[in-house]
Each structure stands twice: as C-alpha cells, then as structure tokens.
Amino acid sequence: MCRHAAITGWGFCVPEKVLTNYDLEKMVDTSDEWIRTRTGIVERRIASSDQTTSSMGVIAAQRALDKAHLAAIDLDLILCATCTPDHLIPATACLIQHELGAVNAAALDINAACSGFVYALVTASQFIMSGTYDRVLIVAAETLSRFVNWQDRNTCILFGDGAGAVLLEATDQDGGLISSVLGAQGDVGRLLTIEGGGSAKPANPDTLANGEHCIRMKGNEVFKFAVRSMGLTAKQAIDKAGLKPEDIRKVIPHQANIRIIKATQEALGIPWEKVFVNVDRYGNTSAASVPIALCEFLETEEVSPGDNLLFVAFGGGLTWGAAVVRWIDVESHISERVEGPYAI
C-alpha cells in the first residue's frame, strides 16, 4: 500500500479592514491607476491593533480542522510558514498549538518568506510519506502591515495581511503531493530584506531611525527574478510529475503582482482561465497568499478526484518553489477514517 499526503481540510482568515488604492493616494504620492497598472492590486486587508499573525492563523487553522472533521488533539505536527512572527521566541506555531489545544502536536516555524507555504507543504508531505506522522497542519500567516514603511510608495502599496491553513493527512488514495521543486539563491538575498531586529542588527535607536525594521526591496531586480523563476519552476514541477501543462486543472500562484502571474501563465502556455487570481483584493500576503487563493478557489469551483493543482511561488531569500498536488476524494477519506488504516 502506497502512503500519500493529501489535503483534507482548508480555511483562511483575513482582517475586516480594507485599505484601497484611493486611501493610499492620501498617504503617499501615488494613484489608483499607477498601482493597478503596475501590480493589479485594488485593495488589501490590514490587521487591527488586536490581531496578530498567530491570532489570524488560529482562525484559519480551526476552519481547516472543521472542514476535515478533526479535532486539534488529533494533530501530530503544526508547521507555521511566516516571515512576520509574533515574536522571535516562542515560535508562532507554538502559540497556535496552544490556542488550538493541540496538546499532542509538535510545532515549528518555517521562514521562506513568500515561498513559505510551498516549502511547508513539501516538508509536511515528507513527514507523512515517511510514516513519521499521519496528520500535519500547515498554517501560513502574515501581518506585513507591521513591517511596512508607510512613507515608501514603492513597497507600502504592495502588501496585505491574512492567513491560510491546510490539513494534510496520510491516505492510500492515489493523490496528494506528486512532485515538487524547491530552490534558493542566497547571494541575491539583499534584494528583499527586513534587516533590523536580528542578531546582526539588534533593535536600537539607530536601526529604528533608519527604518531597518521595515521591508526594503529593489523592485526591478525582484520582478525580473520572479518572472524568470516562477515560469521555470512551474515547468520543472509539471515535468517531474510526468504531466503536461494541459493536465493541470488550476494554477494557484503566489499573488505578488498581476504581471508576474501573467508571465507565468504565458511561460506555461495555458489559458488564462486556468490561473486563479485574487491579488486585486488582497495584495501580496506573502506566505499566506497561496493557501488563501486555494481556499477561495475551492469555494468557487468544483474539484474532482484526480484533478491536478499547481502551486508556485517565489520570495525573499531569495527562494522559490512549486508543487503539483493531485486531489483525492476528500469525503470518502473522511468517511473511511473511522475504520481505515489511518483511523484515529
């Protein structure tokens, strides 16, 4: 019997507060037309003062558990993909574990910036396929608005807050993760940074005055890297799965910029209708963008067992990743959980 790692639950959470391009016109020297033309973003969500990366992650996680008809005590491991943790210590995954009451789960954070969800998906799948764990919760959550320089019009227009979560379970159905490609290029890491707050530049009056605790990005260079890496990585993952682009039911890319998404679609040679896009409503939510998009896709379209989904992302590091996931019969899996080989 082959052991696969399949998605059986999903959920997301975004703040209620909406920040539109017209709102940004009043804050920095920009315009709705300029932002739309260059990014495709119309609005983004901003966390309230009492919301954190972990609090949004908990809501998304509980929704994923509810969808999978599981309780938090059934979890073996929690992975939190984030580059905007609540604290340096403890890990945000541990905070989520506590709030959920997942007393049987190990917990750790993964930081691959915007590639974080794909990195976590591949990592979680290895734990399951190796037989180490049966149920792994992935939470990808970000509160980027706390790390944005609201006077920098080149970056403050791009980012939003939110969280997405998926539940991975062991199954003998033919599905789950069927291929993946991960990569990193540390020599260009300084193209996208938050330099302050770590051991190299601990917080002090100078780092605060210099804005070193905010996102800094060399936009043109990052754009070129993203256009190149997204298309290439997507093709590699499809090839590795033994598939062709036309075999992909839906591409769910990192929602950074509509022009990057369009370039990925053109590189794959697939119809635009096969690409899911919500960057216009949420902006770039970093690691959370792919699972939020996945959740909205599953809310709006029917997915059948055997459908192939492609996740692809790039991020700070610089990092990149892609994964092909074959959908299983989720309802059948849940109904068989009571008596099957992976029964609770």
Active centre residues (catalytic): 114, 254, 284
Smallest CA-to-CA distance from 113 within 189, 23, 210, 1 is with 189
| 161-171 vs 176-184, strand pairing mode | unpaired
